[in-house]
Structure 1
Amino acid sequence: MSDHDERRRFQRIEFDATTELRQGLQRWPTKLLDVSLKGLLVERPANWEADLTQDFEAIIHLDPSTRVEMQVELRHEEPSRLGFVCLYIDIDSMTHLHRLVELNVADSTEMMRELRELIE
């Protein structure tokens, strides 16, 4: 287990959903690899040329009428993947994300611990 994995306090769940990164007028469709209450990991888009000093908006389309929108910051960049941490999420998006994670985390005690950590 790497140091990065040991520091991770939020369980990531694999989830396949249409996802888009936005920054200003730039738009990058990408593949969601996993998501947590605190961030997401996506495939690095082929045409990735972003201003790494600026924040991004991540939009995860759960279905045609439901989406999770987050203001995110790039935390790590690899040749094939990008990791983002959530800076801001509205209550509707948090409700959808919470439900998604809840349905995929078997341990309700772990889910409550994550929620407490997120609030703190």
Structure 2
Amino acid sequence: MDEKRQFARILFATGAKLQQDDKVWNTNILDLSLNGALVDEPDAFSPSNAAIILSFTLQGSDIEVQMETSLTHHKAGHLGLKCLHIDVDSISHLRRMIELNTGDSAMLNRELELFVEAHEKA
């Protein structure tokens, strides 16, 4: 099978919140990348076509990471979320977390360039 991912993923188990319009669900993040996340499907999950806000607090701090996402897949009790927008502070914290977990800052710099290019076109 060909690997289609352009962004390194890290295993990252933590609680998170999904918000869409006036609906809020609690979930758990399974893995993260600069371009999205895989999360557990929350109970009573019933999304619309609107963007989904994923937010979580970094363990041992009061730093909240937040990204606007779209649902790319929904299967086997998991949701694949693609990042549509993320603020500078959140992407800086996310980048640092991935760098600490992969140990490869050169790869992350390439991925950040890909991320910026992809989101400038959108």
Would you call these one fold, judging by a TM-score over 0.5? yes
Indicate the residue corresponding to 2:40 in structure 1. 43
Give the letter aligned to residue 41 of structure 2. R
Q: Does 1:106 align with 2:103?
A: yes
Residues matched between the structures, number: 116
8 Å Cα contact 2:21/2:50 also seen in 1: no
Structure 2, unpaired ranges of 5+: 118-122
Q: Does 1:25 align with 2:22?
A: yes
Q: Give me the CA root mean square deviation.
A: 1.3
Cα drift, residue 107 of structure 1: 2.3
Which TM-score applies when normalising by structure 1?
A: 0.90
Cα drift, residue 112 of structure 1: 1.9
Larger CA deviation: 58-67 vs 8-17: 58-67
User: Distance between the aligned counterparts of 1:94 and 1:108, measured in 2?
Assistant: 14
Indicate the residue corresponding to 2:76 in structure 1. 79
Which TM-score applies when normalising by structure 2?
A: 0.89
User: Distance between the aligned counterparts of 1:114 and 1:97, measured in 2?
Assistant: 12
**Percent identity among equivalent residues?**
39
User: Distance between the aligned counterparts of 2:44 and 2:7, measured in 1?
Assistant: 29
User: Distance between the aligned counterparts of 2:32 and 2:108, measured in 1?
Assistant: 14
Indicate the residue corresponding to 2:8 in structure 1. 11
Could you tell me which of 55, 59, 70 is aligned with 1:59?
55
Cα drift, residue 83 of structure 1: 0.3
Task: Specify the SS of the correspondent of 1:83.
Answer: strand
Q: 4+ residue runs of structure 1 moved beyond 3 angstroms?
A: none
Could you tell me which of 102, 114, 117 is aligned with 1:117?
114
User: Distance between the aligned counterparts of 1:106 and 1:100, measured in 2?
Assistant: 10
User: Distance between the aligned counterparts of 1:16 and 1:33, measured in 2?
Assistant: 5
